[in-house]
């Protein structure tokens, strides 16, 4: 009968406390190395000293349960340590001439893995360090390759020794240092490379000028945030849905890389450069004048045969509606972006029109010869509306919509009008302002401080300019004549109470008008004060608009301000009489511009004078020559010296003979002008000879 061999067994966590010599024990369970389960899944054998020694168990044999030579990916779940013991397998080895040697497919030591022909690190970005002891060297037979090398690689001694060259090299030098020195020396010999497109301006040609963006709408923006459009800001404007740029000239490298034109970040053409001549067009990209850099006008002085340069532009690139950007790149180099607005507006050119004129309702007036005239007071403003249709589209040109061409002959400049001067207008203006229903602004024009009659081109001309066209030189048409007489006294025109006396005799003040007294060339002289606001007698000439004239005008119709009707009973000769108050005058010059039928001179309070000229009531005649001696007489009343006064103006000398204005008790000299139909005088003065 067979013998029974008993083995002590346990399901606890301890090994047997003792075993006889040759006696076995077993502790069941999932074992581990160390810890509570360090005795589980093990077989024990007692020695001759009754000591309990582990001699086996599944804890150990489970680590070897894999195909010989294959441990990559093996997992041991039998013990909690998951340990694996490599079991080597014989395999043919080409390095041993085909003889078998024991191998394993992967070997890991700490963070080093040997797998196939590769030694690598298993920790993230871990280094693999080979560190010989002392002066030991790392000896590698065969070719060493590496994508990059960091560290100090010693040059060593070349075959045949070092040659004499640009700098001294030792066998202990490092290659990186020697290459750096060599590059430094070559840098002195090689010319600087030509500029690239980096940072250069790309500019457009053939666009529709510029415009400012209107407010009140969100324009299409194709620039992917590169541009943030703002109302009131000026942008390049385009309208034909294509753009062409100016050439960027003489940039490099002209023999390598790829040049790309982009619109809104998308390629519109590309050309790859090589050492040949690469002129050509691809899509909307055009390369031209590809040449040796020695011919560059941008970077002058580059030695030939080192580099090439080229010109590049966009040509007829597609331009969608809204804001766009374009750029030219050459590998990593990039020009600046150019931005523009493709304007889809269909607005026509602006049109200027006018309302009727509103004359002043409560004017401030000056009078001359009974004829009312407007002063330069703002109470005399003439007002009217200007309407501008098609004042804006998506864009506008400038804040000023209505440009004033300035003052006229009779009215002050009303000034330019900006968009916010118009009813409902703003700055910046709204999109499509004045489209359909025109934009309206009120114009007030104030008379100038002048003395004249305005018969044509009364009011200011205006121009309207938008990106969509212009309407220029537009003026309101007005048929009424306007009489203006400012408050400033003037001597360069006919003013009834201020006719120039220049350095004549003794006294002050200018000549003034007095009543003519009656009709005829030689009436009894009178010199009563003149009332400018009163209607004139039929024989009195009229000063209106700074012109002395034989007048038969109806001022109640066709003139503003409306005045008296002088159209009837005034066809006969008319006179204009004035007085000069000066002493010590025995002769003087009379100057006038215009036409007259006669001119007579009198010293009414000089008895010698009036006695000698009793037949003419004391009036001497400037259209007759002075007799040459003594006082003019009734028979020879002429007082013109050095030539006769004529009916067509000029300067003539009047002489009193042996008399002087000092002999007139009031130092008064009367001058009486005679005018017939159609005659007028525009300027007059009296001066010393």
Q: pLDDT tens-digit profile of 292-331?
A: 999 999 999 999 999 999 999 999 999 999 999 999 999 9
The per-residue pLDDT for 113 is 81
Measured distance CA(623)–CA(621) in Å, rounded? 5
**118 pLDDT more than 90:** no
- CA 399 and chain centroid, separation: 13
The per-residue pLDDT for 20 is 86
Measured distance CA(215)–CA(429) in Å, rounded? 6
Task: Determine the average pLDDT of the residues in 164-192.
Answer: 75
Q: Which among 381, 489, 504, 390 is positioned nearest to 445, based on CA atoms?
A: 381
The per-residue pLDDT for 65 is 80
Most confidently modeled range among 117-131, 176-190, 367-381: 367-381
Confidence label for 93 from pLDDT (cuts 50, 70 and 90): low
pLDDT in tens, 538-564: 999 999 999 999 999 999 999 999 999
Task: Determine the average pLDDT of the residues in 384-397.
Answer: 98
Contact predicate 674/600, CB 8 Å: yes
Beta-bridge mates of residue 25: 8, 44
pLDDT in tens, 622-654: 999 999 999 999 999 999 999 999 999 999 999
Contact predicate 16/8, CB 8 Å: yes
Task: Determine the average pLDDT of the residues in 369-374.
Answer: 98
Measured distance CA(557)–CA(234) in Å, rounded? 52
Measured distance CA(627)–CA(639) in Å, rounded? 8
> What Å distances lie between residue 102 and 115, 119, 185, 320, CA to CA?
15, 19, 56, 73
Measured distance CA(629)–CA(633) in Å, rounded? 10
The per-residue pLDDT for 31 is 86
**171 pLDDT more than 80:** no
pLDDT in tens, 55-71: 888 887 887 787 886 77
The per-residue pLDDT for 26 is 84
Contact predicate 576/540, CB 8 Å: yes
The per-residue pLDDT for 94 is 59
The per-residue pLDDT for 625 is 98
Domain boundaries, the chain: 1-86, 204-342, 351-485, 500-687
Measured distance CA(500)–CA(688) in Å, rounded? 12
Task: Determine the average pLDDT of the residues in 131-157.
Answer: 72
Beta-bridge mates of residue 318: 242
Measured distance CA(393)–CA(433) in Å, rounded? 7
* High-pLDDT (> 90) share of the chain, %: 72
Task: Determine the average pLDDT of the residues in 261-283.
Answer: 98
The per-residue pLDDT for 79 is 77
Confidence label for 416 from pLDDT (cuts 50, 70 and 90): very high
The per-residue pLDDT for 146 is 65
> What Å distances lie between residue 95 and 91, 104, 204, 359, 441, CA to CA?
12, 16, 70, 119, 102
Long-range contacts, stretch 198-201, CB < 8 angstroms, 24+ apart: 198/333, 198/334, 198/335, 199/335, 199/336, 200/248, 200/251, 200/335, 200/336, 201/335, 201/336, 201/338
The per-residue pLDDT for 142 is 63
Contact predicate 335/200, CB 8 Å: yes
Confidence label for 407 from pLDDT (cuts 50, 70 and 90): very high
Confidence label for 2 from pLDDT (cuts 50, 70 and 90): low
pLDDT in tens, 330-348: 999 999 999 999 999 999 9
**37 pLDDT more than 70:** yes
pLDDT in tens, 472-509: 999 999 999 999 999 999 999 999 999 999 999 999 99
The per-residue pLDDT for 55 is 86
Measured distance CA(638)–CA(654) in Å, rounded? 9
Beta strands, E only, 116-178:
118-121
**394 pLDDT more than 90:** yes
- Which strands sit side by side in the sheet containing 204-205, from one edge to the other? 204-205, 242-245, 317-318
Question: Is this structure's pTM higher than 0.85?
Answer: no
Lowest mean pLDDT of 109-113, 214-218, 468-472, 540-544, name the range. Answer: 109-113
pLDDT in tens, 653-674: 999 999 999 999 999 999 999 9
Contact predicate 541/673, CB 8 Å: yes
Measured distance CA(229)–CA(210) in Å, rounded? 14
Measured distance CA(637)–CA(623) in Å, rounded? 10
Contact predicate 360/380, CB 8 Å: yes
The per-residue pLDDT of the chain, averaged, comes to 92
The per-residue pLDDT for 95 is 58
Measured distance CA(501)–CA(201) in Å, rounded? 70
Contact predicate 652/643, CB 8 Å: yes
């Amino acid at each position: 009968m067979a013998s029974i061999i008993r083995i002590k067994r346990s399901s606890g966590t301890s090994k047997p406390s003792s075993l006889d010599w040759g006696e076995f024990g077993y502790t069941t369970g999932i074992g581990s190395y160390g810890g509570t389960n360090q005795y589980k899944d093990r077989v024990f054998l007692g020695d001759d000293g009754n000591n309990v020694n582990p001699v086996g168990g599944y804890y150990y044999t489970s680590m070897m349960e894999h195909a010989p030579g294959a441990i990559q990916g093996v997992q041991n779940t039998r013990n909690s340590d998951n340990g694996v013991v490599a079991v080597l397998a014989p395999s043919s080895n080409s390095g041993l001439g085909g003889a078998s040697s024991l191998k394993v497919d992967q070997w890991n030591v700490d963070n080093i893995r040997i797998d196939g022909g590769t030694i690598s690190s298993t920790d993230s970005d871990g280094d693999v360090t080979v560190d010989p002891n002392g002066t030991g060297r790392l000896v590698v037979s065969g070719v060493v390759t590496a994508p990059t090398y960091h560290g100090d690689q010693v040059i060593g001694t070349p075959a045949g020794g070092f040659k004499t060259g640009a700098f001294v090299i030792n066998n202990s030098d490092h290659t990186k240092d020697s290459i750096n020195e060599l590059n430094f020396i070559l840098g002195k010999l090689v010319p600087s490379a030509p500029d690239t497109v980096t940072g250069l301006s790309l500019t457009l040609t053939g666009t529709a000028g510029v415009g400012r963006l209107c407010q009140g709408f969100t324009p299409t923006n194709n620039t992917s945030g590169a541009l943030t459009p703002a109302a009131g800001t000026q942008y390049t404007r385009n309208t034909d849905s294509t753009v062409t740029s100016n050439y960027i000239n003489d940039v490099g490298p002209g023999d390598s890389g790829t040049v790309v034109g982009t619109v809104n970040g998308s390629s519109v053409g590309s050309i790859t450069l090589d050492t040949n001549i690469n002129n050509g067009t691809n899509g909307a990209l055009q390369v031209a004048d590809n040449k040796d850099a020695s011919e560059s006008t941008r970077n002058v002085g580059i030695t030939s045969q080192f580099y090439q340069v080229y010109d590049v532009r966009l040509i007829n690139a597609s331009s969608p509606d809204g804001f766009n950007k374009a750029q030219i790149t050459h590998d990593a180099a990039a020009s600046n972006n150019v931005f523009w607005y493709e304007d889809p507006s269909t607005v026509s050119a602006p049109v200027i029109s006018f309302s009727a004129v509103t004359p002043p309702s409560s004017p401030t007036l000056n009078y001359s010869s009974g004829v009312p005239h407007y002063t330069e007071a703002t109470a005399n403003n003439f007002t009217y509306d200007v309407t501008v249709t098609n004042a804006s589209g998506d864009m506008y040109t400038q804040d000023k919509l209505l440009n004033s061409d300035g003052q006229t002959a009779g009215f002050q400049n009303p000034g330019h009008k900006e968009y916010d001067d118009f009813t409902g207008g703003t700055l910046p203006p709204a999109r499509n302002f004045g489209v359909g229903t025109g934009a309206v602004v009120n114009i007030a024009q104030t008379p100038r401080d002048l003395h004249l009659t305005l018969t044509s081109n009364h009011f200011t001309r205006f121009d309207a300019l938008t990106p969509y066209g212009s309407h220029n030189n537009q003026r309101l048409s007005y048929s009424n004549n306007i009489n203006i007489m400012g408050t400033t006294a003037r001597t360069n025109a006919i003013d009834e109470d201020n006719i120039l006396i220049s350095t004549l005799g003794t006294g002050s003040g200018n000549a003034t008008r007095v009543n003519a007294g009656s009709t005829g060339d030689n009436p009894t002289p009178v010199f009563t004060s003149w009332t400018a606001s009163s209607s004139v007698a039929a024989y009195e000439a009229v000063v209106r608009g700074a012109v002395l004239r034989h007048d038969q005008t109806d001022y109640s119709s066709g003139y503003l301000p409306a005045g008296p009707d002088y159209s009837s009973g005034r066809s006969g000769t008319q006179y204009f009489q004035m007085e000069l108050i000066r002493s010590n005058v025995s002769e003087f010059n009379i100057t006038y511009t215009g036409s007259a039928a006669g001119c007579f001179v009198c010293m009414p309070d000089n008895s010698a004078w009036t006695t000698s000229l009793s037949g003419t009531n004391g009036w001497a005649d400037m259209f007759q020559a002075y007799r040459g001696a003594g006082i003019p007489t009734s028979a020879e009343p002429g007082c013109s010296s050095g030539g006769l006064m004529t009916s067509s103006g000029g300067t003539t000398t009047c002489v009193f003979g042996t008399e002087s204005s000092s002999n007139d008790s009031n130092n008064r000299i009367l001058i009486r002008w005679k005018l017939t139909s159609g005659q007028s005088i525009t300027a007059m003065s009296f001066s010393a000879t």
